[in-house]
Amino acid sequence: MADDKDKTDPTVRQTSREASGWMIRLQDAPEDAELQRRFADWLSDPVNAAAWDETQRMSRAVAGATPRHAESWGPFLRQARAEAENGGTAQPRQAPPSVGGGIAGAAGRRAPSGRRDRRRILRLAGLAAASVMVILAGPNLALRLQADHATATAETRTVRLADDSLATMAPASAITVSYTTGERRVRLLAGEVYLDVTPDAGRPFRVSTDGLRVTVLGTRFNVSRSDGGAEVSVAQGVVRVEASGAQPAAATLEEGEFLRVGRSGRVQRGSRPTSLVGAWRQNQLIAQDEPFRNVLDRLRRYHSGAIVLLDDALAAQPVTGVYDLGNPLGALRGIARSQKAVVREITPWLLIVSRS
């Protein structure tokens, strides 16, 4: 494993940003012979070549990812583009930055000249790389249009339903609600929700999500879904859970019990203190032998940008611990340290986690 100092060395960080800048400029002007010549000169340095290889690897790792937070990075990117094209004085153009299959945006049509232009190009490189490499961490536009209620990154919200039941939604979550005379239905489309259900024996309350269906009369429980699967855990009362998939199962869960269905269809049942059910409401991320990738899915809801995990073996490693969701970057570094991994902050929008 490379020395952690290498990851934070200012020279290494700057070289990485330069590589991002070259990737953007080459995409914007692929037939510019002068640009190609200068790039070849830059690439002849072994340190630069290593940074270029790493930049390409990161680009491939997030190729095809859905950009998000355009409301955050878009204005900055347009401003930087306008500065690069007009010597730092023009107002930004109104057109949004191009988001294609690989690289978005451009570093401008002028070759950099002098220290001022170099700083501007590096700034644009970081911002454009962020706009491309930011991974979807919450409900996208289509999901928001489908949902009755949705939350943004780092936003929690409590919704009072028509029967006075309460649905407290974690960040980057979305639900639909459908009430009839015979039943009450909530579907979790993304993220996590803690439900405090008003008893009504004549109208069962049902919650469904990918692979799980929960039926209750009156209780408090938490339901979550992520790329790793879905889980229900009970804080008070009793729920009936039906799990579909490769291993169909049905179970009655009481206070302190949980049932998790992985993407493979594997069903896991266990128990935890009721105080830990929905612990995210107290800004706590609690993991009990969960794969790194699953814990990372939950943490992404609190970070306004991308967290890219480059190591497949690391993704499968079990994580146990309690982490502060009020400080998502600190939590990520703590989780990474527990796995002898490192976190590199490429831009404010892009974090890379790896063991090398």
Q: What is the pLDDT of residues 198-217, one digit of tens each?
A: 999 889 999 999 889 999 97
What's the first-to-final CA gap in the chain, in angstroms?
A: 5
- Count structural domains, the chain: 2
Looking at the fold, whether 187 and 104 belong to one and the same domain comes out as no
Counts of helices then strands in the chain (DSSP H, E) = 10, 18
User: Are 126 and 146 within one domain?
Assistant: no
Cα within 13 Å of Cα(237), Cβ side: 17
Whether residues 276 and 146 share a domain: the answer is: yes
Asked whether residue 347 is domain-assigned, the answer is no
Q: Strands across the sheet with 342-347, in order?
A: 306-309, 350-354, 342-347
pLDDT of res. 24: 63
Residue 245 has a pLDDT of: 65
Cα 257 versus chain centre, distance: 28
d(CA 174, CA 153): 12
Structural domain contains residue 208:
yes
Please say whether the dihedral angle defined by the alpha carbons of residues 7, 13, 19 and 20, taken in this order, is positive or negative: positive
Which is it for the CA torsion 268, 273, 277, 283, positive or negative?
A: negative
Across the chain, what does the average pLDDT equal? 76
Give the whole-angstrom CA distance, residue 22 versus residue 179: 55
* Domain range for 221: 141-282
Of the three residues 251, 282, 313, the one that is the final residue of a domain is: 282
Domain check: are 16 and 118 in the same one? yes
Which of 120-124, 157-161, 179-183, 248-252 bottoms out in mean pLDDT, i.e. has the lowest?
120-124
CB contact at 8 A, 336 and 1: no
Q: Write out pLDDT tens, residues 220-270.
A: 999 999 888 899 999 999 999 998 766 678 899 999 999 988 877 888 899
In this predicted model, which residue has the larger pLDDT, 69 or 175? 175
Residues 177, 65 share a domain = no
Same-domain status, 52 and 12: yes
Residue of 161, 163, 304, 286 lying closest to 224 (CA atoms): 286
Q: Which of 72, 103, 133 is the last residue of a domain?
A: 133
Indicate whether 117 belongs to any domain. Answer: yes
* Integer-rounded Cα radius of gyration of the chain: 23
pLDDT, position 141: 62
How confident is the model over 263-291, as a mean pLDDT? 88
CATH at 151: 2.60.120.1440
Do 153 and 185 lie in one domain? The reply is yes
168 and 53 belong to one structural domain:
no
Helix (H, G, I), strand (E, B) or coil at 59: helix
Regarding whether 123 and 19 lie in a shared domain, the answer is yes
Asked whether residue 343 is domain-assigned, the answer is: no
251 and 212 in contact (C-beta within 8 Å)? no
- Same-domain status, 39 and 88: yes
pLDDT of res. 227: 80
Q: Clarify whether residues 13 and 91 are in a common domain.
A: yes
Say how far apart CA 237 and CA 139 lie, in whole Å: 30
Q: Of 234, 265, 282, which marks where a domain is finished?
A: 282
Query: Looking at per-residue confidence, does 71 or 23 come out higher?
Result: 23
Domain membership of residue 307 (yes or no) is: no
Q: Which residues pair with 212 in a beta bridge?
A: 209, 243
Instruction: Kindly state whether residues 176 and 216 are assigned to the same domain.
Output: yes
